[in-house]
Structure 1
């Protein structure tokens, strides 16, 4: 499942064109906010849309062991769940101050993920 939007500001045709111009990558550095309940993920999403830093919201809301700002580090293709990877590899890299993230959250067997990508190689 590919992300439907990029941020609380909505997506435009220009952003869609940028997504198609992503260079192929075999390794990505991601952060995520993982919530078991959809309502909690939506609450975190609202704070991001209001301009909060991604890592701060991850520390407050994420329910997994990557609570250090949601940082999962560098992961090679094939090491994450398929739905997570599909969404992550479709995102442009961004920063925690101005994140580009999956909106709506991505559902996996672990719960609901709000994903951002910090780097690609």
Structure 2
């Protein structure tokens, strides 16, 4: 077994590096091997520091984690083939190491949770223009699919429509769109959700206006604009929970990255690269 690096007394083999590439879901090449080795070094530093700090896993915690592992499609982020290549001892070591690292990382992040309500509100106010609801419309739709004198039929249908009641009635009886059962109601949509031909017409209409017939690859269409919502800021109360989760994630990633950088500096002499080809 080729050992390519050591962190304290933890050996990292070429097999470990290749396995990490599989976990990263990337092709095995110089760049991915280098990145995989860096990730493994970081993980070993965290693990060693966690063990030194007294973190461990009980038999019950391990047994429960092992049961959870059996229900996962890709346990430990590995394919079933890669898992089968692991010995029982390797699987136990990797799983226990993962659990210890998770405990340690949780303790670090919980010690640095600074996302207060005030900070949340300040972030929202500073970045308010990011939190926008795009302009959207609600339309009803009549479709006549290509064939069987479709163009003539759509023109005749349009000539019969004088108002919304006419539109709704004719949509139910004549439209080839699945929405015909709901009087052609397409619901609310923003630009880009529908085909470009519908988008262009829908966003050019006034409320209550009924379009002239127009053509797409699906057939011939008539639209009626029922309502419109202009672009608007998302209220703070509507977004604060998801915003809190997002900021907490950013905070945790920042704290972890900073901690790893500190560990690398503190224990630089404990990291030995034995195969320089990987980082060349």
Q: Do the structures match in fold with TM over 0.5?
A: yes
1:32 to 141, 156, 163: 141
For 2:190, the equivalent position in structure 1 comes to 76
1 or 2 for the larger relative contact order (CA 8 Å, sep ≥6)? Answer: 1
For 2:225, the equivalent position in structure 1 comes to 117
Deviation at 1:49, TM superposition (A): 3.9
Q: Distance in 2 between matches of 1:90 and 1:70?
A: 19
Q: Distance in 2 between matches of 1:118 and 1:51?
A: 9
Q: Which has the larger radius of gyration?
A: 2
For 1:45, the equivalent position in structure 2 comes to 158
Deviation at 1:50, TM superposition (A): 8.4
SS in 2 for 1:66: helix
Pick the structure with more helix per residue. 2
Contact 1:40 1:61 in 2 (8 A): no
Q: Distance in 1 between matches of 2:141 and 2:175?
A: 8
Q: Distance in 1 between matches of 2:164 and 2:190?
A: 30
Q: Distance in 1 between matches of 2:153 and 2:162?
A: 14
Q: Distance in 2 between matches of 1:45 and 1:81?
A: 21
The runs of 5 or more residues in structure 1 that have no matched partner are: 1-24, 95-99
Q: Distance in 2 between matches of 1:50 and 1:93?
A: 12
Q: TM-score, normalised by structure 2?
A: 0.31
Pick the structure with more strand per residue. 1
Deviation at 1:51, TM superposition (A): 8.4
Counting only pairs closer than 5 Å after superposition, residues 12-27 of structure 1 correspond to structure 2 as 26-27=135-136
Contact 1:88 1:115 in 2 (8 A): yes
Say whether residues 1:87 and 2:195 are aligned partners. no
Q: Distance in 2 between matches of 1:53 and 1:70?
A: 12
How well do the aligned residues superpose, as a CA RMSD in angstroms?
A: 1.8
